Amino acid sequence: MKMKKVLFAAVSAGVLMLASPSFAATELTVQRFFGACDADFGTNTDVAKAVGECGIITSLINKFNADNPDVHVSVSTVEWPGYDQLTAQFASGEAPDIVTIHESALSDYQSKGLLMPLDDLLKSVGVTPDAFTDAARNGATKDGKIYGLPIDSWTMLYHINMDLFKQAGLVNADGTPILPKSPEELLAQAEQFKQKTGKPYFVQNLANETALYTRNLYTYLFQQNSDFFADPKHVKLNTPEAKKIVEMYKAIFDKGYTTKDLDYGGAINAFLAGGGGVQLNGTWVVGDNNAQSETKGTALNKGGYAVYPYPQLFAGAHAQYADGHTWAVSQKDRTPEQIAAIGKFLKFFADHDFDWSRTGHLPAYKAIIASDAFKALPHRNTIAAVADLGRPLPSAVQRQFAIQDIVGEEMSAAITGQKDVDAALADMESRVNELLANI
């Protein structure tokens, strides 16, 4: 009798083990940056309740898992931008199925054949590139094929503390902030701001920073029509245009118109505490800053929060540096179920791009930009212009993150006075070209 029971249990267990794969959900591994916030949103599936990049993406993936019991997405979160890990994962054959990659970094991986072209897969789930905005489509297209599902376009913005702007007398009659139209005006307004409020005009994260410096430089090079990457293998940065920009930021630094020793987190806290007039930060903090401005007792609630694209300081093109986030898919052998599951995931994000645009990023889809729901989001009337202004580096430029580090290091050295401006620009140019020559 006992033996019979044991046998029965063993057979049942065996049958269950054999049977379970047919019921098991298809596993997908997803790797992303945007931070971790499981304490707040770890189980939230109501995307409308989520705020900020991390909250919204966590809730979106939770919702995807809840809505699709046949697919299970396991997420690993990496520190921004996560390319060191990703490269190592690719090299060891352990790459995740789906991963966040900037449009500016796509060509590094695509040129090595590590990413899967998505045209057919997207078409099979009803997502066609003509629905993307021009910026998103151009950013995600390499060698004529789509290599990432674009989810947004982002850029740097002027995040403004209106209370301090009012104190500084930098407000128009209609309540909008007065922004500079030339480098000279910028310095004059910054001086006026400092005199009236006793605080720096800019809140910048300059401590061991490279990205902010580089994006500032690219933006104002575009505005002077400097075609510094005419040849994607050779940069021209030791130019009068670049010198003008570096000298402008150096004057801002030397005259105390900016915070100096803050890191990224410190700069956000300083701005939210009313530590300066304008924070130079990306589209991704619009949602968080707006939430702060609606909270009583905060520095941004006092006089309001406004956000604008970078002002046009030069007479050239109306443009500013922009990039975008995409979901890319690693190249590997997969079953039809796995490919279908990936298609479902990408389709889900294409369908929920409005939710993602609540972060402050601009949508990657024309229909969403044109929608009333998007226009009704706070501050979109002032920043929607970025969809036309945004300009990336030419897509054939490889190692854009490594270039960003070099440009940022040299700019930082020049602005903080470690190096002469001319020497820094010469080193910047030769270091980037040395890097590009050896790819």
Partner 1 sequence: MDDRRATPRTVLPAASVRAASVDIYAPQWRNFIFVAPFLFFFTTLLLVPLFWGMWLSFHKADTFSSGNFVGFGNYVRLFHDKVFLQSVWNTFYFVLLTVPTLALIGLFLALCLNRRTRTAAVLRTLFFSSSVLSVTIVTLIWRIVFIPNVGLLSTIYGWFGATAPAFISDPSLAMIGIAIATVWWCIGLPMMLFLSALQQIPQDIYEAAALDNANRWQTLRSITLPSIKRTFVLVVIVQIVLQFQLFGQAWLMTRGGPNNLTKPIVLYIYDTAFRRWDLGMGAAASEVLFILILMAAMVQYLVTRNKAGQA
Alpha carbon distance 389, 402 (integer Å): 25
Is 217 an interacting residue with respect to partner 1 (CB under 8 A)? no
The residue within the footprint of partner 1, chosen from 27, 46, 70, 84 (CB under 8 A), is 84
Q: Which stretch binds partner 1 (CB under 8 A): 94-102, 350-358, 378-386, 398-406?
A: 398-406
**Binder of partner 1 out of 167, 176, 192, 416 (CB under 8 A):** 416
Which of 33, 41, 64, 90 lies at the binding interface for partner 1 (CB under 8 A)?
A: 90
Binding mask 265-294 vs partner 1 (x if CB under 8 A, - otherwise)?
-x--xx----x-------------------
By CB under 8 A, residue 76 contacts partner 1: no
Do the Cβ atoms of 380 and 372 come closer than 8 Å?
no
- Minimum distance from CB of 79 to partner 1 (Å)? 11
Place of tokens 């352990």: 94
- 299 near partner 1, rule: CB under 8 A: no
Nearer to partner 1, 119 or 405 (CB): 405
* Nearer to partner 1 (CB atom), residue 124 or residue 208: 208
Positions 113 through 152 that interact with partner 1 (CB under 8 A): 114
Residue 27 to residues 190, 204, 288, Cα–Cα distance (Å): 54, 42, 33
Kindly state the smallest distance separating residue 232's Cβ from partner 1, in Å.
Answer: 16
Nearer to partner 1, 63 or 431 (CB): 431
CA distance 12 to 352: 43
Residue 6 CB neighbour total at 10 angstroms: 10
Q: How many CB atoms lie within 10 A of CB 358?
A: 23
Side-chain half-sphere CA neighbours of 111 within 13 A: 11
Q: Which of 253, 390, 414, 250 is nearest to 324 (CA)?
A: 390
Binding-residue pattern over the window 168 to 207 for partner 1, x denoting contact by CB under 8 A: --------------------------------------xx
291 versus 435: smaller Cβ distance to partner 1: 435
228: alpha, beta or left, given left = phi > 0 and alpha = psi -120 to 50? alpha
Least CB distance to partner 1 at residue 402 (A): 5
Is 396 an interacting residue with respect to partner 1 (CB under 8 A)?
Answer: no
**Residue placing its CB nearer to partner 1 in the complex, 84 or 134:** 84
Ramachandran quadrant class, 295 (left: phi over 0; alpha: psi -120 to 50; beta: rest): beta
Asked, as a colleague might, if the bond just before 81 is cis with ω within 30 of 0, I would say yes
**Nearer to partner 1 by C-beta: 275 or 392?**
275
Select from 162, 412, 421, 429 the one that contacts partner 1 (CB under 8 A).
412
Does 315 participate in binding partner 1 (rule CB under 8 A)?
no
How far apart CA 105 and CA 109 sit, in angstroms, is 7
| Complex with partner 1: residue 62 or 210, whichever CB lies closer | 210
Strands 320-323 and 152-161: antiparallel
CB of 438 to partner 1, least distance (A): 6
DSSP string of 101-164, one letter each residue: EEHHHHHHHHTTT-B---HHHHHHTT--GGGB-HHHHHHHEETTEE-SEE-EEEEEEEEEEHHH
Please give the angle made by the CA atoms of 51, 52 and 56, to the nearest 5 degrees. 70
Of the pair 12, 269, the CB lying nearest partner 1 is at 269
Q: Would you give the DSSP letter of residue 414?
A: H
Token look-up 């997420």 returns: 75
Q: How far is the CB of 328 from partner 1 (least distance, A)?
A: 16
112 binds partner 1 (CB under 8 A): yes
- Identify which of residues 128 and 418 has a Cβ nearer to partner 1 in the complex: 418
Chain contacts with partner 1 (rule: CB under 8 A): 83-84, 87-88, 90-91, 108, 112, 114, 206-210, 260-263, 266, 269-270, 275, 399, 401-402, 405, 409-410, 412-413, 416, 418-419, 427, 431, 434-435, 438-439
